[in-house]
Amino acid sequence: MKLGVNIDHIAVLREARRINDPDPLQALGICARAGADQITIHLREDRRHIHDEDAAAIIRHSPLPVNLECAQASEIIDFVCEQRPLRATLVPEKREEVTTEGGLDVTGDPTALKEVIRRLHDAEVEVSLFIDPHPDTVLAAKELGADWIEFHTGRYANLWAMLYSNLTRTRHAIESLQLPRRDLKKMLDEELSTLADLAEHAKGIHLRVAAGHGLNYQNVGPIAKIRQIEELNIGQSIVARSVFVGLEAAVREMKALLQ
Ligand code: PXP
């Protein structure tokens, strides 16, 4: 299974001081050497982590294909069409969110989204839609003309964390998931089966399938076993681990878990 390394969190660290260090550009060669298959970045509307100059330089210099996550705002789409990364992943975006919470709304009026996809295709940029795992979203993504879908694995990761990590003992416990272990286990198993079934279905209708969000060294195993998922995009856990072992080792360790 392929690994896309989301290097946004390097820019998060840089922006904590509003200086030039660490530079996400420096991660490109290291990720490539460590066996990553793709570089993923998120150009947010408020540019709070990755800036236009980062994105342009990364697309120009990356030895690996670049997957640029973005919202549908027309000035961002103009930028993407100009810079032409290999792929754009359309994600929902709310200014106040800490990270991307939930998938794109693909089942409403398709007019605007279709136009964005057409513009990206005209610029020869592959299009992926970041969606919640549901039969309706998969079908809608196909009808909209996407090349890829990326399943949002946030629910899987949250269920896993409440069951197996010490999250329940921290102030980050997820209130809606304060449930008996038996229920959590059942929900986790169901989420995994849903992801596997939908990945199979998506492949069958010629959509390429990626997944990501909240995946880490502990919870990635069962997702990595779903053979119809071609690629995982993982950021926070890899950059967090790199603080202790270095980026190259952190990427290598994650890649080994995807074999
Ligand atoms: N895929 C998409 C579409 C995302 O928006 C994100 C978060 O930026 C990720 C993958 C990576 O998530 P994480 O940082 O939790 O690994």
Number of domains observed in the structure of the chain: 1
In a domain, 189, yes or no: yes
Q: 229: domain range?
A: 2-153+179-257
Cβ-contact 157, 213 below 8 angstroms: yes
236: tokens are 């926070």
Those residues whose C-beta lies under 8 Å from the C-beta of residue 71, and which sit 6 or more positions away, are 44, 45, 90, 91, 92, 93
Verify whether residue 152 is a known catalytic residue. no
Q: How many residues does the chain have?
A: 259
In a domain, 160, yes or no: no
In a domain, 41, yes or no: yes
In a domain, 54, yes or no: yes
Identify the pLDDT of residue 169: 64
Instruction: List residues bridging with 3 in a β-sheet.
Output: 232
Verify whether residue 201 is a known catalytic residue. no
Closest among 69, 118, 108 to 92, alpha carbons compared: 69
Verify whether residue 49 is a known catalytic residue. no
In a domain, 62, yes or no: yes
In a domain, 171, yes or no: no
Identify the pLDDT of residue 72: 94
- Burial class of 201 by CB neighbour count within 10 A (0 to 12, 13 to 18, 19+): middle
Those residues whose C-beta lies under 8 Å from the C-beta of residue 144, and which sit 6 or more positions away, are 106, 110, 113, 114, 117, 129
Q: Is the pLDDT of residue 170 over 90?
A: no
Identify the pLDDT of residue 193: 98
CATH code for position 90: 3.20.20.70
Q: Is the pLDDT of residue 97 over 70?
A: no
In a domain, 192, yes or no: yes
> What percentage of residues in the chain have a pLDDT greater than 90?
88
Those residues whose C-beta lies under 8 Å from the C-beta of residue 170, and which sit 6 or more positions away, are none
In a domain, 173, yes or no: no
Beta strand extents in the chain (DSSP E only): 2-6, 38-42, 66-70, 87-90, 126-131, 148-152, 208-212, 231-234
Identify the pLDDT of residue 108: 87
How do residues 26-85 score in pLDDT, each as one tens digit?
999 999 999 999 999 999 999 999 999 999 999 999 999 999 999 999 999 999 999 999
pTM above 0.85, yes or no: yes
State how far the alpha carbon of 164 is from the alpha carbons of 160, 185, 188, 238, 250, in Å.
6, 10, 11, 19, 22
Identify the pLDDT of residue 223: 98
Centre of ligand 1 from the C-alpha of residue 216, in Å: 11
Ligand 1 near 212 CB (within 6 A): yes
Atom of ligand 1 nearest to the CA of 238: 16
Atom of ligand 1 nearest to the CA of 210: 1
- Mapping DSSP to helix (H, G, I), strand (E, B) and coil, where does residue 232 land? strand
Identify the pLDDT of residue 96: 62
Which of 9, 49, 152, 213 is labelled catalytic? Answer: 213
Q: How many CB atoms lie within 10 A of CB 100?
A: 21
Mutate which of 3, 5, 48, 99 for ligand 1? The one with the most ligand atoms within 8 Å of its CB, which is: 99
Identify the pLDDT of residue 227: 95
